[in-house]
């Protein structure tokens, strides 16, 4: 079942990981081993969570990489479903 308009994982990172620890984007990026630009793009919803970033987040915040990828997948799928009617697809059935 699809969640209703799930948040972008970047929003989750900001609100549940960075803010409680009082971490700046620069500090968090350094700890994750990525550039500030890369983390900022995720936090602002301009980039998604890659498998590698999911692993980095799981190590840094003691979570599972699967949880980060699942959040990204739910977010992406919900937005794709919103455009379902715009897709030009023919149904294929066996004769």
User: pLDDT tens digits for 21-80?
Assistant: 999 999 999 999 999 999 999 999 999 999 999 999 999 999 999 999 999 999 999 999
- Assess if residue 94 is contained within a domain: no
Indicate which CATH number applies to the domain containing 64.
1.10.260.40
- Assess if residue 29 is contained within a domain: yes
Given a cut of 70, is residue 81 above it in pLDDT? yes
- Assess if residue 69 is contained within a domain: yes
Read off the pTM.
0.89
* Number of domains composing the chain: 1
DSSP state of 3: P
Given a cut of 70, is residue 10 above it in pLDDT? yes
Given a cut of 90, is residue 4 above it in pLDDT? no
Q: For 94, left (φ over 0), alpha (ψ -120 to 50), or beta?
A: beta
- Assess if residue 45 is contained within a domain: yes
- Assess if residue 95 is contained within a domain: no
The domain in which residue 41 lies consists of 9-86
Distance CA 74, CA 86 (A): 20
Distance CA 79, CA 62 (A): 28
pLDDT (average), residues 77-84: 94
Any residues with CB less than 8 A from the CB of 21 and at least 6 apart, and which?
none
CB atoms within 10 A of CB 2: 9
- Assess if residue 20 is contained within a domain: yes
pLDDT-derived band at 3 (thresholds 50, 70, 90) equals low
- Assess if residue 1 is contained within a domain: no
């Amino acid at each position: 079942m699809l969640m209703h308009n799930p948040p972008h994982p970047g929003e989750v990172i900001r609100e549940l990981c960075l803010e409680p620890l009082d971490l700046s984007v620069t500090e968090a990026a350094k700890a994750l081993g990525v550039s500030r630009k890369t983390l900022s793009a995720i936090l602002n919803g301009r980039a998604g969570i890659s498998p590698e970033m999911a692993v980095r987040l799981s190590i840094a915040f003691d979570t599972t990489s699967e949880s980060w990828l699942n959040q990204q997948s739910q977010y992406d799928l919900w937005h794709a479903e919103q455009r379902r009617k715009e897709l030009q697809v023919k149904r294929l059935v066996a004769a």
